[in-house]
Structure 1
Amino acid sequence: MGKPNGSVHKDGFQSIVGEPSIMGPQWVGMYTTDPASPAAFTREDFEAAMMHVIREPNINSTAILRADILYEDQFELVDGEPKLASSHTEEFELGDADATYINVDEVTPRATALPDALNLYTKCAIVRRMLPRNPYKDAVLNQTCLVLNGCDPADSETSAIIYHPHLDESDSCPFYIPHVKQVAILFHKGTVSVHYIPFDSMRANDNELLRDESQRVVRTAYRLLQTAFKHSRGVKAGYEKKVNHDVVVDKVRFQNRYISLKKKHSKFLVDNWAESTDPKKHVFEDISIAAFLIELWIKVYGEDFRSRMQFRDLGCGNGVLVHILASEGVKGYGIDARHRKSWAIFPQETRACLREQVIIPSILLRPHPDMKQQYPQLEHNGRLFPVKVAHEYIAPATIVYASEDLLKSPQVNIAEFPKDTFVIGNHSDELTCWIPLLGCPFMVIPCCSHNLAGQRTRFNVRKSKESNGGSAASNSSYAGLVDHVEDIAEQLGWRVEKEMLRIPSTRNAAVISYENPLMGSFPTPKAYEVLQAEGGAENWIQNTMALMRGHPRSH
């Protein structure tokens, strides 16, 4: 049964089930913070925190994707009476017809039980549409959210948040919200407390279920109190978000696209996973990236983007991202130095979009522009690249590759892509810093830090970035790599945008650019300068050729 009523938990929270609720007789008090230790934040702090949670309900539950705010009224007291100050409504598309919906046409606030014992008025009335991560399993639901304030000056520090789901019966209550009629989170006299109006079936047993702390509905009340208390203290302390999402692509469009792609592709990919890695992490991560890319391309190229661009996924690995994009009708292909087991699970249409090649950017093989101007017939720079090899059956030897031969080799991709190409670098390791040099619009998601020679290295965040709001704490190896990719791109004339992607990875920074006045003129003189400043990419070709499948050095 868990802790008895009135017991104190390790964080000082107390169960108050069985005690008369300050909200009135129809309410059941669940938990409260310690009344003997008043909170060190104000009503304004509490309301700021709770308004953020109302707009971002995924803070309380990982089963919730987001909330769309359909209706919002703001009121203010005039001569002791609440008067409407502003009103706003917005329409959102419902999405897939196969999803489950409950009362989604009810877009005005439901009549809600205000506390009897407290003299409160409605300061803000919101109707939000709750979208679960799996709308084919958990229903999409509208919910009234009220922010109540005290009418009397003596209650100026009192505030209540009430959640009222638009439900007609208890059996239809979705998993992701508490299984009760209404929820209240009250800030009063320095304490925060959570209260429920139970369904009638709970009241039938004298709320016995609500006394059992092993029950999910009770644990949820505890978490709601934790969230309200923690976030209110964070507002008081001046907490600011370290990461801003949805800067480049609209969140609603991205998430709707994600739901659609997940429905179409996740089961096949997870059920047929051929690698030793966790399928769910990789599959859902690549579905998220595909959703982001498609919405980015719609933004950049328009709804008809499929006829206006094609992609190249450099270092495509397991090929999942290529499969999803190709299945969605996007032209393009992926390139990787090694064939992966996963490639065999894909249909022929996808396998035709996967190429086993090493990538050697043509800037390393073509003549310098100055040389080309003097000798226009030259197609290669005449360089030779010795690569030492070893094998258990032969003595150590050296293979010499000529730039002329590498330009013609079917096993080598020199990254000279059509002008309508968009380049993807999804955790592309050694290729990461190269991608801005290729002259195509791109999105890079950096992962492991390598220089242009393919060697592991560490880059520091530029001093200008640190002094412009950065800190020493942000100068991690990953932050340095992301900043270095931005730096290379900006030197080459790219207008860079950055997005922290909603993917299950700590390596989630995307460096994006699709605007450059010099596009079509690569490699530019600046590209050669950057290449020289980065160390000349010495040994890139030798390191890259060692990755070839037929080479004695196996992987």
Structure 2
Amino acid sequence: MSPKRDEFKFESANESILGKDWFPIYSTHKDVKFGKNHFEIAMMNVIKEPNINSSAILRADILQEVTCDSNANRTVKKCEVKDSELADPEAKKLGVNDFEARYPSINPTLKLYAATEIVRRIIPRNPYKDAIMNQTCLILNSAEQDSTSLVIYVPHIQEEDDCPFYIPHVKAVGIFLHQGSLSVHYIPFKNAELFQDESDRVVRTAWRLLQTAHKHSMGVMQGYQKRVRHDLVVDKVDFQNRYIALKKKYSKLLVDNWKESTDPKKHVFEDIAIAAFLIALWTKIYGHNYKEKTQFRDLGCGNGVLCYILLTEGIKGIGIDARRRKSWSSFPAEVQACLKEQIIIPSVLVRPHPEVKKRLPQLEHNGGLFPVKVAHELIAPATVVYTSEDLLSSPQVNVTEFPRNTFIIGNHSDELTCWIPLLGYPFMVIPCCSHNFSGQRVRFNVRKSTTELNSTKGNSTYAGLVDHVLYIADRVGWKVEQEMLRIPSTRNAAVIGYENAHVGSFPTQEVYDMIMEDGGPNGWIQNSMALMKKSPRNH
């Protein structure tokens, strides 16, 4: 639980215990319950994840880490960092070539020594607006008091005017745990009078820093475990660097030319993030020449933004949806040619069973009959019967028979979600709305056998759907991975499969068994054909 404002006292009229250069801002009224170890674990996590303190920060890259004992024995760890942002001449930068740790003066009577010395590079979400900056982070311990710990942040800048928006405009910040009290102190650049007014941004920031340090230290003490784990499938830095580059290239153009009634920023930034993730994933699977080795099919492609980005990046592929969207007409002709208005009927529903095909190799369809009710303005409603042969030959139907090097994307693909692992191609599906194999809305319960794969806790409808997709994929032989995507959506669980010993042999008997286990596909074709007449959903 976060501490309330009245649990901290405003200290601006007092002198700082840290020394004459420092000014105290806030401290706790009462002794804190957590110890030095809890505090340092929490603060090390904040050092490595600075976005906890500011939503304007994307991440921190650790450039160098030094540990030191009380006898001044130093262990230096250099860290490899990808500098793709720094190569961009348009990105703002501050002190990025300054790797020397900075040490502010500290009251010598405290007898503190630097147990940990880190130089990190802060990467803002928008490096074209806020500067990339190097910063020293210190964790100081006392040679005499085991319960004392001081965390210091020093930006590698010279003037207050250089300070980026996302840090307090001071020369140094200190968060001090000493004699049971937790407090925040500043070293100003020039004018300490700014620290007198609690309404000033720099003072309010001190309160938030103290609140975060207190809350996270209590969380460590109470054994808090992070509910959602990100970056399990692809490297975070690789993904985020690609996201920054794609956002710069596409976001303004797409937002300014938005044709749909939905919020453009949510959808555009979400699809940019998914595109960045997919490119990082394909690079991991197929190598840097992935464009030569794979192509995509985006099933239920909706507004087509994800397809537009991937196609413009030179990746071959096709987007398919039951209904054309307004956005499609805004894309270049070569992109529009890759967006298909078709209903999707998996081939398993219209092709003969593999065992039948072995005995009758000339048989191309399963002889299925599918009655569909149609309405007419002048005559009474009627029933039209389609055959599997009709559907296989229809240009308005896609039976999911793609080149072997196809990778399937299911981005909030609704009725198609559970089908995608059964189609026999590597895939990434981001579940959204819960439907069974007939296209009907259902609620799946979370299975105990797959909870270790599932980071969507609880037994909500969404948790049940994600769990069920994991189960389906595992059941038909996929080596399944799961990622909680960094996208502006609460439905951000991605289920990924790209290794399966039976690829090339689909549909296997397990596919047929899985479909029947879930109640069968009766009504899928009729429901799919009805989608062509309905207004599209907005996610």
Same fold (TM over 0.5): yes
SS in structure 1 at match of 2:246 = helix
Residues 1:286 and 2:271 aligned together: yes
Preserved CA contact (<8 Å) 1:76 1:85: no
- Deviation string, structure 1 residues 65-97 (Cα, Å, up to 9, x no partner): 0000001100112xxx33214543434314223
* Alignment-mate amino acid for residue 214 of structure 2: F
| Whole-angstrom distance in 2 between the partners of 1:470 and 1:238 | 21
Report the 3-state secondary structure (helix = DSSP H, G, I; strand = E; otherwise coil) of the residue aligned with 1:82. coil
The whole-number CA distance in structure 1 between the counterparts of 2:376 and 2:142 is: 82
Give the alignment partner of residue 121 of structure 1, picking from 113, 116, 123.
113
Find the aligned partners of 1:364 and 1:470 in 2 and give their Cα distance: 30
Residue range with higher mean Cα deviation, 90-99 or 269-278: 90-99
Q: Which residue of 2 aligns with 1:151?
A: 143
CA distance in 2 between partners of 1:91 and 1:397 (Å): 66
Correspondent of 2:289 among 290, 299, 304: 304
Superposition pairs for residues 94-493 of structure 1, below 5 Å? 94-95=84-85, 96-152=88-144, 155-200=145-190, 202=191, 207-466=192-451, 474-493=458-477
SS at match of 2:478: coil
Structure 1 length as normaliser, TM-score? Answer: 0.93
Residue type of the alignment partner of 2:437 = L
Q: Are the aligned partners of 1:366 and 1:380 in contact in 2 as well (CA < 8 Å)?
A: yes
- Assess if the C-alpha contact under 8 Å between 2:64 and 2:76 holds in 1: no
Q: Partner residue of 2:68? A: 75
CA apart distance, 1:248: 0.5
Q: 1:19 to 1:339 in 2, by over 3 A?
A: same
Task: List per-residue Cα deviations over 1:155-189 (Å, max 9, x = no partner).
Answer: 21110000000002111111111001000000111
Say whether the 8 Å CA contact 1:22–1:117 is kept in structure 2. Answer: no
In the TM superposition, what are the counterparts of 1:82-97 in structure 2 within 5 Å?
82-95=72-85, 96-97=88-89
The 2-side partners of 1:470 and 1:321 are apart by: 26
Following the alignment from structure 1 to structure 2, what is the Cα–Cα distance between the partners of residues 434 and 472? 21
Match of 2:492 in 1: 508
For structure 1, which segment, 370-379 or 110-119, has the greater mean C-alpha deviation from structure 2 after superposition?
Answer: 110-119
Aligned equivalents of 1:501 and 1:469: distance in 2? 15
Counterpart amino acid of residue 166 in structure 1: H
- Residue by residue over 1:291-312, the C-alpha shift from the partner in whole angstroms, topping out at 9 and shown as x without a partner, is 0000100000110000111000
2:527 pairs with 1:535: no
Kindly provide the CA deviation profile for residues 193-234 of structure 1, in whole angstroms up to 9, marking residues without a partner as x: 11100111x2xxxx3322222221111111100100000000
Partner of 1:3: none
CA contact (8 A) 1:23 1:117 kept: no
Separation (CA, whole Å) in 1 of partners of 2:454 and 2:256:
43
Q: 1:39 aligns with which of 32, 37, 44?
A: 32
The answer to whether the Cα contact below 8 Å between 2:421 and 2:473 also exists between their aligned partners in 1 is yes
260 and 469 in structure 1: CA distance in 2 versus 1, 3 angstrom threshold: closer
SS of residue in 2 equivalent to 1:515: strand
Report the CA distance shift for 1:184/1:500 in structure 2 as closer, same or farther (over 3 A).
Answer: same
What per-residue deviation string (whole Å, max 9, x for no partner) do you get for residues 262-293 of structure 1?
A: 00000001111111111111100100000000
**Unaligned stretches of 5+ residues in structure 2:** none
Structure 2 SS opposite 1:123: strand
Q: Following the alignment from structure 1 to structure 2, what is the Cα–Cα distance between the partners of residues 221 and 382?
A: 72
Going from structure 1 to structure 2, the CA distance change for 1:303 and 1:345 (only over 3 Å counts) comes to same
CA contact (8 A) 2:410 2:420 kept: yes
Task: For residues 399-436 of structure 1, give each alpha carbon's deviation from its aligned partner in whole angstroms, at most 9, with x where no partner exists.
Answer: 21111010000000000010000000000000000001
8 Å contact kept, 2:351–2:366: yes
CA distance in 2, matches of 1:74, 1:482: 42
Contact 1:425 1:435 (C-alpha < 8 Å) held by counterparts: yes
> Matched residues in 2 for 1:529 and 1:518: separation?
15
Task: State the SS of the aligned residue for 1:489.
Answer: helix
Give the TM-score, by structure 2 length: 0.96
Contact 1:442 1:512 in 2 (8 A): yes
User: Which of 52, 56, 74 is residue 59 of structure 1 equivalent to?
Assistant: 52
Secondary structure, in 3 states, of the residue corresponding to 1:54? helix
Aligned pair in 2 of structure 1 residues 9, 241: CA closer, same or farther (>3 Å)?
A: closer
- Number of residue pairs the alignment of both structures matches: 532
SS for the counterpart of 2:151 is strand
The DSSP-based 3-state class of the residue aligned with 2:429 is strand
Distance in 1 between residues matched to 2:259 and 2:508, nearest whole Å: 42
1:4 is matched with none
Q: Which amino acid letter does the alignment assign opposite residue 48 of structure 1?
A: I
1:116 CA displacement: 4.2
Matched residues, percent identical? 62
- The residue type equivalent to 2:185 in the other structure is H
Contact preservation (8 Å) 1:423, 1:440: yes
Query: C-alpha distance in 2, partners of 1:481/1:455?
Result: 13
The residue identity in structure 1 corresponding to 2:489 is S
Q: Are the structure 2 counterparts of residues 219 and 10 from structure 1 closer, same or farther at C-alpha, using a change threshold of 3 Å? A: closer
Matched AA of 1:69: I
CA distance in structure 1 between the partners assigned to 2:364 and 2:84 by the alignment: 56
Are the counterparts in 2 of residues 453 and 536 from structure 1 also a CA contact under 8 Å? yes
| Offset of residue 523 of structure 1 | 1.0
What amino acid is aligned across from residue 9 of structure 2 in structure 1? Q
Alignment deviations for residues 335-369 of structure 1 (CA, whole Å, 9 cap, x no partner): 00001111121111211111110000011001112
Q: 1:29 aligns with which of 24, 38, 41?
A: 24
Contact between 1:390 and 1:396, CA under 8 Å: does it hold in 2? yes
Q: Distance in 1 between matches of 2:392 and 2:31?
A: 73
Amino acid at match of 1:528: Y
**C-alpha contact 2:456 2:463 (8 A) present in aligned 1:** no
Matched, 1:18 2:13: yes
Opposite residue 101 of structure 1, the aligned amino acid is K
- What letter matches 2:179 in structure 1? K
Unaligned runs of 5+ in 1: 1-7
Identify if the C-alpha distance between structure 1 residues 130 and 309 changes in structure 2 by more than 3 Å, giving closer, same or farther.
same
